[in-house]
Chains A and B, each alone.
Chain A
């Protein structure tokens, strides 16, 4: 059975662009599970592997369950030079999960990412579509509180 939300999204993506479809489905808090990808494949008229190969390729799409809030912290050289490692540790401690994991209440998932082009405010991260820069371990609890 195709989920109603997925059906609506498919209806207004008549050109069948899988990247846009998958992003919107995920933005609507629906995980890209095997069943959901099967449904999308059937509706668009492609094979499951056509959908899976896109969902597994792009870093903003995930074939694993993701949290209500997605934290992406930059680990590239400019942020590394500004000690992103201690900020990463602070997030691990605050949430009790490691990078790549999701909290038990599904409120947060936490990922290390390559350069997000925020090097002028390094170390930096994104939570959903919002950027945070000049991070220190001391700022983490307060920032995450906004999303709890």
Chain B
């Protein structure tokens, strides 16, 4: 299946600083359609589309909206998670840069559907250069925001990978340390300032205008059984054509890596950033979907000259630095993992170190409070499975 530009349809076509240009390309048609419907009907349409969260977890968007809509409260919030921090991921940045109006329209429809009057876009500090283009889109869209009685504010992060985790992100908007919360309660019942909150990724929200312009049926005709629509990927590393590409869900990984990005001599691919799964070249025909492997959409390609252990060590170093420190399994686990993986990297591992890494990883996956600690061992566990000999030859 070749590239199919649904979410990216405006990128490179619409002038990102011109509302007029956006309107010429069907801009705000979806909002007009939505506000003619009841909020419940909008939610029903999103549920029927089968859209699932594009931030990596894949929670059904319509159900999240329905839970928030049904929560009784005088105030509700919508948050757009633009804290794209997974290593090797830049697709949200690309979409905000090239099509900020679609994001604003998606946020506005989400507010209308759940009954929120205020939305925040949590923009990572590293993307502060995007504030101009985003604020301009908000300002130029004021007439449409008024129609839906919605106000959108940009909240600039301060540099912390963990703030991409929804409850840490909420803490951060409240002005606190980005530490994860114990859940339940989940944001749809108790989120920002303890009010019902929808929190969705940039790409998820940019799917909304497409669904509400076309239809749920049109959307759910694309993809696999449990993964509808398309997925936007950013791909980098050992490839000829670094960039952002969009594929129908279920497309083979080979299409992205060797087709679009023109990678050669591929050894392995990591899908979903530092916390993503490792796919060895022999599995390059794996379909990209929630059923198989997906993550947030950052894809890193490694050729045969790359050292597997060094890549795993760098991932371990990343998590050791970015763990928020709230729960013990992650705070200690990331530190000890880095120590042991470093011994392998330096060819001075002990015979018991492989077992130690497996035990440590299992404990972290089972008992960490949030996705960071639970997913941190992924590349380690996958490479122990596919490249065990590379570990074994560094034991002395």
**Cα distance A113–B84 in the bound complex, in angstroms:** 15
**Cα distance A127–B90 in the bound complex, in angstroms:** 19
**Cα distance A15–B372 in the bound complex, in angstroms:** 30
Inter-chain contact A59/B158, CB cutoff 8 Å: yes
Residues of A with C-beta under 8 A to B314: 76-77, 80
Q: Does A12 contact B (CB under 8 A)?
A: no
> A117-B124, A120-B242, A129-B129 are known contacts. Are A57 and B86 too (CB-CB below 8 A)?
no
**Cα distance A119–B322 in the bound complex, in angstroms:** 19
**Cα distance A20–B172 in the bound complex, in angstroms:** 10
Q: Does A58 contact B (CB under 8 A)?
A: yes
Inter-chain contact B237/A76, CB cutoff 8 Å: no
Scan residues 5-20 of chain A and give those whose CB is less than 8 A from a CB of chain B.
Answer: 15-20
Q: Does A61 contact B (CB under 8 A)?
A: yes
Inter-chain contact A77/B322, CB cutoff 8 Å: no
Contact partner, B87, options A23, A57, A58, A76, Cβ 8 Å: A76
- Return the chain B residue nearest A26 by Cβ: B158
- Return the chain A residue nearest B321 by Cβ: A114
Inter-chain contact A78/B237, CB cutoff 8 Å: yes
Residues of A with C-beta under 8 A to B93: 117
Residues of A with C-beta under 8 A to B315: 77
Q: Does A126 contact B (CB under 8 A)?
A: yes
Residues of B with C-beta under 8 A to A97: none
Contact partner, B90, options A19, A61, A117, Cβ 8 Å: A117
> A53-B177, A131-B129 are known contacts. Are A77 and B172 too (CB-CB below 8 A)?
no
Return A110 CB to nearest CB of chain B, in Å.
16
Chain B binding site: helix, strand, loop or mixed by DSSP? mixed
Q: Does B99 contact A (CB under 8 A)?
A: no
Residues of B with C-beta under 8 A to A77: 87-88, 237, 274, 300, 311, 314-315
Return B325 CB to nearest CB of chain A, in Å.
9
Q: Does B126 contact A (CB under 8 A)?
A: yes
Scan residues 290-308 of chain B and give those whose CB is less than 8 A from a CB of chain A.
Answer: 298, 300, 302, 306
Q: What 0/1 readout, one digit per residue, does chain A (107-137) give for beta carbons within 8 Å of chain B?
A: 0000001111111101000100111000000
Inter-chain contact B88/A59, CB cutoff 8 Å: no
- Return the chain A residue nearest B298 by Cβ: A119
Residue among B92, B125, B234 with max Cβ neighbours from chain A (10 Å): B125
Interface residue tally for chain A (C-beta within 8 Å): 34
Q: Does A141 contact B (CB under 8 A)?
A: no
Return B155 CB to nearest CB of chain A, in Å.
8
Residues of A with C-beta under 8 A to B234: 119-120
**Cα distance A92–B51 in the bound complex, in angstroms:** 48
Residues of B with C-beta under 8 A to A114: 85, 87, 161, 318, 321-322
Residues of B with C-beta under 8 A to A57: 160, 177-178, 324
Residues of B with C-beta under 8 A to A129: 128-129
**Cα distance A120–B224 in the bound complex, in angstroms:** 29
Inter-chain contact A19/B318, CB cutoff 8 Å: no
**Cα distance A17–B274 in the bound complex, in angstroms:** 31
**Cα distance A146–B304 in the bound complex, in angstroms:** 40
Q: Does B259 contact A (CB under 8 A)?
A: no
Residues of B with C-beta under 8 A to A15: 175
**Cα distance A118–B273 in the bound complex, in angstroms:** 13
**Cα distance A116–B160 in the bound complex, in angstroms:** 11
- Return the chain A residue nearest B310 by Cβ: A80
Inter-chain contact B156/A119, CB cutoff 8 Å: no
Return B342 CB to nearest CB of chain A, in Å.
16
Residue among A23, A114, A115, A117 with max Cβ neighbours from chain B (10 Å): A117
The 23 sampled A-B contact pairs (Cβ below 8 Å) are A18-B175, A19-B172, A23-B156, A23-B158, A54-B175, A57-B160, A60-B125, A61-B158, A77-B88, A77-B315, A78-B300, A81-B238, A81-B302, A81-B306, A114-B85, A114-B322, A115-B89, A117-B89, A118-B90, A119-B242, A120-B236, A120-B243, A120-B244
Given contacts A19-B175, A22-B158, A57-B324, 20 further A-B contacts (CB under 8 A): A17-B175, A19-B176, A54-B176, A58-B125, A59-B158, A59-B160, A60-B159, A76-B87, A78-B87, A78-B237, A80-B314, A113-B159, A116-B126, A117-B89, A117-B93, A119-B88, A120-B236, A120-B242, A129-B129, A131-B129
Name B's A-contacting residues (CB within 8 A). 84-90, 92-93, 124-129, 156-161, 172, 174-178, 234, 236-238, 242-244, 273-274, 298, 300, 302, 306, 311, 314-315, 318, 321-322, 324
